[in-house]
């Protein structure tokens, strides 16, 4: 049923367009209010459909604010779907009984917008459940087509099972949470992103050619293609994608691995005669992809070698972007780009917007892969592709290159420069299609670890072929560890924290230090006294106003342990191996801080590392997502380097903590952990997030919110300090791709993307 909406804040009425009302936002907080009928006050599930089309600016994070008698609040905010290409937004959401007003905010930024009177109708719980489930499954299909069947079956089975046994009232919150996650991203699909920002039709070929003419250095790029019985259609499209390059200083080096399909030689000879830059060698015996790639490498005369599979494609600007990067970064000897997949119908999907060079993530999965470009003399000096590593020969090659390179010699271009063909038999369609590749990857990683003298042992992640875990041995003798737990009162939380550490920690060489910050609660004081008398903990008194940074510096100065573990008093240990995992990682060469994966008590994610520049200084990755959330390309479940991790549970070698001066005591509450991590990063250490140390975090249960009064002013001051000190780093986090958004939810697509060249200038 259609209802009316009224403009109530920062909206100027303009002339109507196409029978729709048109408004211009005069600020960043435009607001409408719905005219409600009395039956809405009963609560229940509702379906909202409305027309919403931005003429200027963009609709960003539209939402509803219900007022149940206490005014509008962020705590009850309801996200709604961003409009599709036809300007239609469809959303399912619950309302509680007692609704008095309902506010609609179309965007969190200025815009000019056409709106139509919305339709808001009550629906049954079953209808709401069914429609939300469909949206969730559809989003799975968009984000992970190769996993869609399994995810679909698992989700529907679990959700329906819970529905049958417990009813929709119980399952509603879980399904709704998943629905909201899908909703936030669904209106900004990769299809829409490609059409707006990455369609080859958008390229200005004339401007690119002028830019090429102005380059000081035009490196010759040898594109290597090993061929074996590739279907003619895909082989032609692959070769045509090279011929279509705007940058012209390339050669195409094709090696045929004694193919049995008669069309192969006919096609290759046709192209060889068509363009003198195409070279072909025919092997007389089938040697598999490593030997075939080495045969192609023998033909190469270029400065750099680019690897291309015989059924994949390059966009027209791929080699231009490589040449431009080589001019901007003459030190780069290994270059990689972002990539996506392309199906038989030419639809692109499943983009991998990568981190900049990320060693720890590279040991978890092949985040170099496509498009990979190597200095020719480098790979020749290593003997080319290793026979016996077929299926993961490019990963093995990159690992051997990494052993010879400095991090500054490995460069990332945050552009989609490679389309990976997803057809039956391809690992792009399903990593398990070539099981030998999975085991070759394990051998490649383990070989690398062995060559560099690491204690790391690689194992696979069951159910996620192509992704791996490296576990490091704790040094002998085991490092000593001091777990520092600041507290003020909070008896129940402190007791839970301490006793979970004592009961669920398999690492033996640790001590617990409680830093008492002016506790008054008799129960808390009694507990600390008794535990101290038993010799279970050591209590240090800090009799000053709360200052998290000073408090921890004060405690650290009294400690001579090898490793400091900073822990909030509202942490609860889940797994016995948490400390062994964090200590073993903290002992690796070049590692600064190590962060754990934290969950809220309802088993949603609280912390998966810190993403800088998101909604200001930064936020926790995946916050609010279900515990088993995979993240893009499984990143939520993989060990990796990040700019920062939270000090709610953080391990750091004591000497490195002291080297960078510990915490900045001017940052009394907020961002001191981010600042510490960035100081470690600036000192040449890498901060690592490990999802294999899992704990619960009953967040800020004893300190309260920072969103009002003096706390709000203090937060604003500390934010200003961080931006002044680390502004460039914060604006362009090297481990968070510029093609991801810095508003909404972490790892949403950016509409539009941020400028990758501004990111380069920042670093």
The whole-number mean pLDDT for each consecutive block of 10 residues of the chain, a chain of 763 residues, reads 86 83 83 85 88 75 88 84 80 90 83 85 85 76 50 59 57 71 67 86 94 97 96 96 97 96 96 97 94 97 97 97 97 97 86 96 95 97 95 96 97 96 60 71 96 96 89 96 95 95 95 95 94 93 93 96 96 96 97 96 91 91 84 92 97 97 93 96 97 88 46 81 91 95 84 75 57
- Here the tokens at position 169 are 């009232």
pLDDT of residue 440: 93
Largest CA distance in the chain: 89
pLDDT of residue 565: 98
Which of 246, 381, 240, 268 minimizes the C-alpha distance to 316? 246
What secondary structure does DSSP assign to 260-276, as a single string?
--THHHHHHHHHHHH-T
Stated pTM of the model? 0.77
- Here the tokens at position 298 are 């023998």
What secondary structure does DSSP assign to 493-510, as a single string?
HHHHHHHHHHHS----SE
pLDDT of residue 278: 98
Please name the residue ranges forming H helices in 288-382: 288-299, 318-328, 359-362, 376-381
Question: Residue 381, Cβ neighbours under 10 Å: how many?
Answer: 12
Backbone φ, ψ for residue 167 (5° rounding): 95, 160
**Do 674 and 612 form a contact (C-beta atoms < 8 A)?**
yes
pLDDT of residue 147: 47
pLDDT of residue 462: 83
pLDDT of residue 604: 85
pLDDT of residue 366: 95
**Do 265 and 228 form a contact (C-beta atoms < 8 A)?**
no
Q: What is the dihedral of CA 701, 707, 710, 714, to 10 degrees?
A: 90
Distance, CA of 175 to CA of 170 (rounded, Å): 10
Which of 227, 298, 300 minimizes the C-alpha distance to 268? 227
Q: Could you give the C-alpha distances from 33 to 11, 19, 67, 106, 108, in angstroms and in order?
A: 12, 20, 11, 11, 16
Distance, CA of 463 to CA of 369 (rounded, Å): 21
The single residue listed with the structure tokens 């509008």 is 72
pLDDT of residue 148: 46
Distance, CA of 101 to CA of 6 (rounded, Å): 12
Question: Residue 517, Cβ neighbours under 10 Å: how many?
Answer: 20
Please name the residue ranges forming H helices in 452-577: 491-503, 522-533, 548-556
């Amino acid at each position: 049923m259609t209802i009316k909406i009224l403009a109530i804040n920062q909206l100027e009425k303009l002339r109507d367009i196409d029978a729709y009302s048109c408004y211009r936002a005069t600020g960043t907080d435009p607001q409408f209010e719905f005219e409600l009928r009395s039956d809405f006050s009963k609560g229940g599930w509702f379906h909202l459909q409305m027309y919403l089309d931005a003429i200027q600016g963009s609709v960003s994070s539209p939402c509803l604010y219900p007022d149940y008698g206490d005014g509008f609040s962020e705590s009850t905010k309801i996200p709604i779907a961003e409009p599709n290409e036809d300007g239609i937004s469809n959303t399912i959401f619950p309302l509680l009984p007692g609704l008095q007003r309902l506010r609609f905010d179309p965007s969190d930024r200025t815009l000019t917008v056409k709106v139509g009177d919305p339709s808001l109708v009550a629906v049954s719980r079953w209808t709401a459940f069914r429609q939300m489930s469909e949206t969730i499954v559809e989003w799975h299909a968009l984000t992970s087509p190769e996993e869609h069947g399994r995810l679909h079956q698992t989700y529907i089975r679990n959700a329906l099972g819970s529905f049958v046994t417990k009813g929709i009232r119980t399952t509603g919150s879980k399904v709704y949470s998943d629905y909201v996650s899908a909703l936030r991203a669904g209106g900004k699909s990769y299809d829409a992103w490609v059409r707006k920002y990455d369609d080859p039709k958008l390229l200005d070929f004339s401007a690119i050619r002028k830019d090429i003419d102005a380059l000081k250095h035009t490196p010759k790029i040898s594109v290597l293609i090993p061929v074996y019985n590739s279907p003619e259609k895909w082989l032609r499209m692959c070769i045509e994608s090279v011929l279509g390059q705007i940058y012209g200083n390339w050669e195409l080096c094709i090696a045929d691995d004694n193919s049995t399909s008669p069309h192969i030689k006919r096609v290759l000879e046709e192209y060889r005669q068509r363009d003198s830059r195409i070279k072909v060698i025919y092997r007389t015996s089938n040697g598999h992809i490593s030997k075939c790639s080495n045969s192609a490498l023998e033909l190469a005369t270029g400065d750099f070698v680019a690897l291309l599979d015989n059924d994949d494609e390059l966009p027209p600007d791929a080699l231009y972007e490589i040449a431009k990067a080589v001019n901007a970064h003459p030190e780069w000897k290994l270059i990689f780009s972002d990539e996506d997949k392309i199906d038989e119908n030419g639809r692109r999907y499943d983009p991998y917007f990568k981190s900049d060079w990320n060693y720890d993530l590279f040991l978890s999965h092949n985040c170099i892969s496509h498009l990979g470009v190597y200095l020719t003399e480098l790979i020749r000096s290593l003997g080319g592709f290793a026979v016996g590593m077929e299926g993961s020969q490019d990963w093995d090659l990159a690992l051997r290159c990494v052993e010879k390179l400095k991090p500054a010699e490995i460069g990332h271009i945050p552009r989609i420069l490679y389309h990976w063909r997803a057809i039956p038999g391809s690992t792009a369609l399903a990593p398990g299609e070539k099981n030998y590749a999975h085991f070759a990857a394990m051998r490649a990683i383990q070989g690398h670890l062995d060559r560099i003298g690491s204690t790391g042992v690689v194992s696979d992640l069951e159910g996620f072929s192509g992704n791996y875990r490296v576990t490091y041995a704790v040094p002998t003798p085991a490092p000593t560890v001091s777990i520092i737990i600041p507290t003020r009162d909070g008896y129940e939380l402190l007791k839970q924290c301490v006793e979970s550490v004592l009961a669920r920690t398999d690492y033996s060489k640790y001590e617990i230090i409680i830093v008492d910050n002016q506790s008054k609660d008799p129960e808390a004081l009694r507990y600390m006294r008794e535990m101290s008398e038993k010799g279970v903990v050591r209590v240090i008194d800090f009799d000053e106003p709360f200052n998290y940074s000073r408090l921890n510096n004060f405690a650290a100065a009294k400690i001579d342990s090898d490793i400091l573990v900073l822990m909030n008093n509202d942490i609860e240990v889940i797994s016995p191996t948490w400390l062994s995992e964090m200590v073993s990682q903290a002992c690796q060469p070049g590692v600064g801080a190590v962060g754990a994966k934290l969950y809220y008590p309802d088993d949603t994610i609280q912390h998966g590392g810190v993403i800088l520049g998101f909604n200001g200084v930064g936020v926790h990755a995946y916050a609010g997502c279900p515990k088993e959330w995979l993240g893009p390309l499984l990143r939520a479940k993989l060990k990796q380097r990040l700019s920062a991790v939270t000090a709610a549970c953080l391990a750091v070698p004591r000497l490195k903590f002291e080297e960078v001066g510990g915490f900045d005591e001017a940052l009394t509450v907020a961002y001191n952990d981010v600042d510490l991590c960035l100081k470690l990063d600036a000192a040449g250490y890498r901060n690592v997030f490990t999802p294999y140390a899992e704990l619960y975090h009953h967040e800020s249960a004893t300190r309260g919110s920072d969103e009002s009064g003096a706390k709000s002013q203090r937060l604003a001051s500390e934010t200003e300090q961080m931006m002044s000190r680390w502004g460039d780093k914060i604006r362009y986090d090297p481990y968070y791709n510029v093609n991801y958004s810095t508003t909404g939810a972490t790892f949403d697509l950016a509409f539009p993307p941020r400028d990758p060249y501004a990111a380069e200038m920042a670093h």
